[in-house]
């Protein structure tokens, strides 16, 4: 076996046994580097007779190629083995259940408020919001409730100072809108929180949510109010609901009505929910009082309109069958999760 064959054999053996790519690099330097063994063989060519040089040169080049190819193949193999090892170590069990982030859901009062807003926006109303601390002037005086009037007793109040209080009804915003818009036509709803000094129980809360509706224009009558509220009742409680007006009293409307809707549980036949009357009261309403219009800057001979005030809790309680108003405010997750996703 000549020198070249020996070199070939040991080199190929060493390459096939290289355990790491670093070992392989050492071999590359040792055999194929500038001062490596193959280069040394090349140098021997000088001492050969001219006739033998081409054949010798070819053989050395062939050897160089062979070693190069063997090294590349070994390198690829080592790298693949290394990758396989890493992948095996990083195994993820995709069948394990994931961790769900706790996603909240909209509060039922928000849901009902949004539903009411959608409905009225669809009828061409504008949604208006206002401050919760209001002047006595707008909460009462402009609503036809002077300081010494017994009607103030209907809404026991939380005063900040003698002139300012937490609004007891969204009618306070209605009065402001009337003043700002006179003598123009109006079509607005005003949702928001209201406050009354009250002892909390299953149906009363010192803080609750109302939505005021106000429409002013020429010849806006109780008939328009009835059509509007019928639409509301059917959208909120079902297509076959009927409504009825009962005479009532509010200082800021004349005439005033209490509005009932046929019971959504029994359909009007009578059941415990409607106290066997077939009807459920949902809101107060009426034609805006001429004196209220006058105080705001309207000529009651030219502009009339209706107003209504609906309790959002009341609608939500009827719609979802909630039996205690306090559920809305106690932040019990079990309650909240009944109206949407809540992990």
- Interface residues with ligand PHE (CB under 6 A)? 169, 171, 212, 250, 253, 284-286, 307-309
* Residue 225 C-beta: closest distance to ligand PHE, Å: 10
Give whichever of 165 and 307 is closer to ligand PHE, judged by the CB atom: 307
Pairing, β 207-217 against β 253-262: unpaired
Q: Considering the complex, state which of residue 60 and residue 259 has its C-beta at the smaller distance from ligand PHE.
A: 259
Which residue's Cβ has the minimum distance to ligand PHE?
309
Which C-beta is closer to ligand PHE: that of 8 or that of 253? 253
The C-alpha atoms of residue 343 and residue 337 are separated, in whole angstroms, by 8
What's the min distance (Å) between Cβ of 229 and ligand PHE?
A: 12
What is each CA distance from 272 to 41, 264, 313, 314, 324, in whole angstroms? 109, 12, 19, 17, 15
> Cβ closer to ligand PHE: 38 or 175?
175
Coil vs helix vs strand at 48? coil
Instruction: Return d(Cα 75, Cα 64) in angstroms, integer.
Output: 16
Our CB check for ligand PHE shows the closer of 212 and 313 to be 212
CB of 251 to ligand PHE, least distance (A): 9
Which residue matches tokens 């415990």? 272
Comparing CA positions, the residue from 199, 202, 178 lying closest to residue 190 is: 178
Q: Which of 310, 289, 311 is nearest to 178 (CA)?
A: 289
Q: Is residue 278 left, alpha or beta, with left meaning phi > 0 and alpha meaning psi from -120 to 50?
A: left
In the complex, minimum distance from the CB of residue 215 to ligand PHE, in angstroms, rounded to a whole number: 11
Q: Minimum CB separation from ligand PHE for residue 267, in Å?
A: 27
Read off the tokens for 20.
Answer: 């790491």
């Amino acid at each position: 076996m000549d020198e070249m064959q020996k070199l070939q054999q040991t080199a190929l053996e060493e390459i096939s046994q290289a355990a790491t790519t670093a070992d392989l690099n050492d071999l590359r330097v040792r055999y194929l580097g500038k001062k490596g063994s193959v280069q040394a063989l090349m140098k021997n060519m000088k001492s050969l007779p001219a006739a033998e040089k081409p054949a010798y040169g070819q053989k050395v080049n062939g050897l160089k190629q062979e070693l190069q190819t063997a090294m590349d193949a070994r390198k690829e193999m080592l790298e693949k083995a290394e990758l396989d090892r890493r992948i095996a170590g990083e195994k993820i069990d995709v069948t394990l259940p994931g961790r769900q982030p706790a996603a909240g859901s909209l509060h039922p009062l928000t849901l009902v408020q949004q539903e009411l807003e959608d409905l009225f926006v669809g009828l061409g109303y504008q949604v208006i919001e206002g401050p919760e601390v209001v002047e006595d002037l707008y909460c009462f005086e402009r609503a036809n409730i002077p300081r010494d009037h017994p009607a103030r007793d209907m809404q026991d109040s939380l005063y900040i100072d003698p002139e300012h209080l937490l609004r007891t009804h969204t009618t306070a915003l209605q009065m402001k809108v009337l003043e700002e818009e006179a003598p123009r036509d109006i079509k607005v709803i005003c949702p928001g929180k209201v406050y009354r000094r009250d002892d909390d129980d299953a149906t009363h809360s010192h803080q609750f949510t109302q939505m005021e509706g106000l429409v002013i224009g020429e010849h806006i009558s109780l008939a328009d109010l009835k059509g509007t509220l019928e639409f509301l009742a059917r959208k909120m409680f079902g297509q076959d609901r009927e409504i009825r007006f009962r005479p009532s009293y509010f200082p800021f409307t004349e005439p005033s009505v209490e509005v009932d809707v046929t019971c959504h549980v029994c359909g009007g036949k009578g059941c415990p929910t409607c106290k066997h009357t077939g009807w459920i009261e949902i809101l107060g309403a009426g034609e805006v009082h001429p004196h209220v219009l006058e105080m705001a800057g309207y000529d009651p001979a030219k502009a009339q309109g209706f107003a209504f005030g609906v309790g959002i809790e009341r609608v939500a309680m009827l719609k979802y069958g909630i039996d205690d108003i306090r559920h809305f405010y106690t932040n019990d997750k079990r309650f909240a999760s009944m109206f949407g996703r809540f992990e």
